[in-house]
Amino acid sequence: MNESEMRELLTRHGQTQVLRWWEELDEASRAGLMEQIGQIEWDKIVPHPEDGRRGRIQPIEGLTKEEIAARKEQFFAVGSEAIRAGKAAAVLLAGGQGTRLGSDAPKGAYDIGLTHPHYIFEQLILNLQEVTKACGASIPLLIMTSDKNDAETRTFFEQHAYFGYPREDIFFFRQAMAPCVDLEGKILLEDKARLALSPNGNGGWYTSLVRAGLTEKMDARGVEWYNVFAVDNVLQRICDPVFLGATIASGKASGAKVVRKAEPHERVGVLCLEDGLPGVIEYYELSEEMANLRGADGSLVYSFGVILNYLFRADVLKSIADQRLPLHAAKKKIPYLAPDGTFVRPEEENGYKFETLILDMIKYAKTCLPFEVVREKEFAPIKNKTGTDSVETARELLKRNGVEL
Ligand code: UTP
């Protein structure tokens, strides 16, 4: 792209304000800004009219805790055999900014220890090592970072000797960034020569993996299943052989770990069918009637809360990569360079970040196995410093599960 092409592009999209300081910039800064502009995926900063439209919602059948307990050995045998055959990879989503936790460092570098340092990343590695030991196999661990935390994350792992995980089985990759816009949809600048960017959401994990050349590497290793999970649930089982075995045995192309909702209005997304395809409906999208609907046995009908631990079969991911995922706009306080040249850290929300979400990928997998887990044993998310889903609640749950902090 040359300068006139760039100007034409910005004019077409009504975004020429990003060149406000162009005349002042030196050659290198101009080249940097032009590169950022060239990388903008324009359909990712303008919501589509269909985004957010919901179809006909129905409950989905899933495997209950009791059914899983009764067939645990069978599922374990199938799953552990697949792991030994090198068919599973773990994908750690660590590209988020963790703003609610209020630490500038990568969320996984957060120390949750009490008597000794004990980091979130460390706990996740311990959880994964339980499986590699039980199966006597190695599992590649793919760690997604963003421009905001990539260097720090890599350094952190290096400084801690990868917490004893084999270095050759760890692969870092960086997710793409998306421009932030003001309330009128105009792209904001971070400084005179740089756009204000933020990570483009966890729905971009697979395309970022492809771009990093890692799917080819995983194909070469014979990987057929990706277990994708959030950085902040310190109790989760990673590449759980029972989950993997059950999903393989079901013949479905994806699987989702779920917990029973604690109460009708719990703030978790619910796995359901939407127009006959599996999908996740957010808690605020469930009608009052649906949230409270109970079956013949008195239990909630829409009760499978997702915990961001999914399995995807590699072959369907390749087709999902061609789909446009819906855009979710989040109103945020975005620091920016004002037209008068002053840098502003707003007190109020002043713009939007756009994200695609992994939960929207399930629909494109076409089939999904809901797999119920015991909440107290597998769900301890750290979103906040205190209160609900916090460092405090996660510590308590870890202790109850025998982890010394
Ligand atoms: P959250 O929705 O909790 O977002 O991410 P967050 O950015 O970590 O935290 P807040 O909302 O700012 O407090 C769920 C998971 O998805 C990952 C996160 O790292 C976490 O594991 N994620 C989120 C990404 O990898 N990339 C993103 O762009 C967003």
Distance of CA 326 from the midpoint of ligand 1 (Å): 17
Query: pLDDT category, 84, cuts 50, 70, 90?
Result: very high
Residue 223 neighbours by CB under 8 Å, 6+ apart: 86, 87, 88, 89, 140, 314
The pLDDT of residue 47 is above 80: no
The pLDDT of residue 123 is above 90: yes
| Tokens, residue 275 | 């127009």
Could you tell me if 196 and 336 are in contact, meaning their C-beta atoms sit under 8 angstroms apart?
yes
pLDDT in tens, 257-313: 999 998 999 999 999 999 999 999 998 889 999 999 999 999 999 999 999 999 999
Q: Residue 314: phi, psi to the nearest 5?
A: -60, -40
Residue 348 neighbours by CB under 8 Å, 6+ apart: 333
Minimal CA–CA distance to 199: which of 179, 215, 214, 181?
Answer: 179
Query: pLDDT category, 323, cuts 50, 70, 90?
Result: confident
Question: How much of the chain exceeds pLDDT 70, in percent?
Answer: 100
Query: pLDDT category, 367, cuts 50, 70, 90?
Result: very high
Q: Considering the chain, what is the average pLDDT of its residues?
A: 95
Kindly state if the Cβ of 202 falls inside 6 Å of ligand 1. yes
Average pLDDT over residues 204-230: 97
Of 3.40.50.2300, 3.90.550.10, 3.40.50.620, 3.10.105.10, the CATH number of 57-400 is: 3.90.550.10
pLDDT of residue 165: 98
Q: Where are the beta strands (DSSP E) in 314-368?
A: 328-332, 336-337, 343-344, 351-355
Q: Angle formed by the axes of helices 27-39 and 3-12, to 10°? A: 50
Q: How far apart are CA 37 and CA 15, in angstroms?
A: 10
pLDDT of residue 189: 98
Kindly state if the Cβ of 232 falls inside 6 Å of ligand 1. yes
Residue 347 neighbours by CB under 8 Å, 6+ apart: 333
Kindly state if the Cβ of 175 falls inside 6 Å of ligand 1. yes
Residue 143 neighbours by CB under 8 Å, 6+ apart: 92, 94, 153, 157, 170, 171, 172, 173
Kindly state if the Cβ of 382 falls inside 6 Å of ligand 1. no
- Residue found under tokens 């045995």: 249
Q: What residue owns the CA closest to ligand 1's atom 18?
A: 96
pLDDT in tens, 6-42: 999 999 999 999 999 999 999 999 999 999 999 898 8
pLDDT in tens, 172-189: 999 989 999 999 999 999
Question: How much of the chain exceeds pLDDT 90, in percent?
Answer: 88
Kindly state if the Cβ of 63 falls inside 6 Å of ligand 1. no
Q: What residue owns the CA closest to ligand 1's atom 7?
A: 96
The pLDDT of residue 231 is above 90: yes
pLDDT of residue 221: 96
Q: Residue 144: phi, psi to the nearest 5?
A: -90, 125
Query: pLDDT category, 97, cuts 50, 70, 90?
Result: confident
The pLDDT of residue 321 is above 90: no
**CA distance to 50, 235, 262, 299, 311, per residue, from 303 (Å):** 26, 21, 8, 8, 20
pLDDT of residue 15: 96
Average pLDDT over residues 386-403: 94
